[in-house]
Amino acid sequence: MDIKIKDFEGPLDLLLHLVSKYQVDIYDVPITEVIEQYLAYIATLQAMRLEVAGDYMLMASQLMLIKSRKLLPKVVAEQEVNDDPELDLLNQLEEYRKFKLLSQKLSEQHDLRAQHFSKPRQELIFEEVSLKRDKTSIDLFLAFSQIMAQKKESFKQNHATIEA
């Protein structure tokens, strides 16, 4: 295993990675094998005492349910119950994959836009202008908290710390 949990945006991303190795349509993936790999991966992480986010645990339990149901003999009357969680998961994966792609495309488009720079608006001041008085203390509060939040965020981005 040459992958770290930090490389992934959550359990769906990790599953997508495991599934992609099969080079087949998502709906043709040998789901039990993928489940095995997922659980093995989580177990390895835990053995190394790495912190695993709760989302991964939740997914693990859902996968165990799917797997255990697959192992049990099929009861004809309860057929839809058997297939449902599995199909839901596959649909979820498919949907997630679509947005993962779209976000890459948006990122590319933004990069093109980000090559153009402009300057802040020039505040012009004239004598005969009168004050509108359409702002309240709430507007002031929101404006300042906005600036603080943005500063905090950009500070975090420009000063990358190595997360333990």
Partner 1 sequence: MSRLAEIEALLFVAGEEGLSLRQMAEVLELPATGLTQSLERLIEKYDKDTESSLMVLQSSNRYRLVTKEEHAELLQRYSRTPINQSMSRALLETLSIVAYKQPITRLEVDEIRGVNSSAAMAKLVTFELIEAIGHKEVIGRPRLYATTPGFLDFIGINSLEELPEVTDLDLTQEESQLFGGQALLSDEE
Contact between 87 and partner 1 per CB under 8 A: no
Contact between 60 and partner 1 per CB under 8 A: no
The single residue among 47, 76, 112, 129 that binds partner 1, judged by CB under 8 A, is 112
Radius of gyration of the chain (CA): 25
Vertex 117, ends 112 and 119: CA angle to 5°? Answer: 155
For 49, which DSSP code? Answer: T
| Alpha-carbon span 10 to 61, nearest angstrom | 15
The single residue among 27, 99, 141, 144 that binds partner 1, judged by CB under 8 A, is 99
Which region, judged by CB under 8 A, interacts with partner 1, from 34-42, 68-76, 77-85, 116-124? 116-124
Q: How far is the CB of 106 from partner 1 (least distance, A)?
A: 5
| Alpha-carbon span 84 to 133, nearest angstrom | 59
Contact between 126 and partner 1 per CB under 8 A: no
Which of 57, 58, 81, 59 is closest to 69 using CA atoms?
81
Asked if 53 contacts 43 with a C-beta cutoff of 8 angstroms, the reply is no
Which region, judged by CB under 8 A, interacts with partner 1, from 35-43, 77-85, 108-116, 128-136? 108-116
Q: How far is the CB of 163 from partner 1 (least distance, A)?
A: 7
**Widest Cα–Cα separation across the chain:** 86
Question: Where do contacts with partner 1 occur on this chain (CB under 8 A)?
Answer: 4, 6-7, 9-13, 16-17, 20, 23, 53, 55, 59, 92, 95-107, 109-122, 124, 146, 149-150, 153-154, 157-158, 160, 162-163
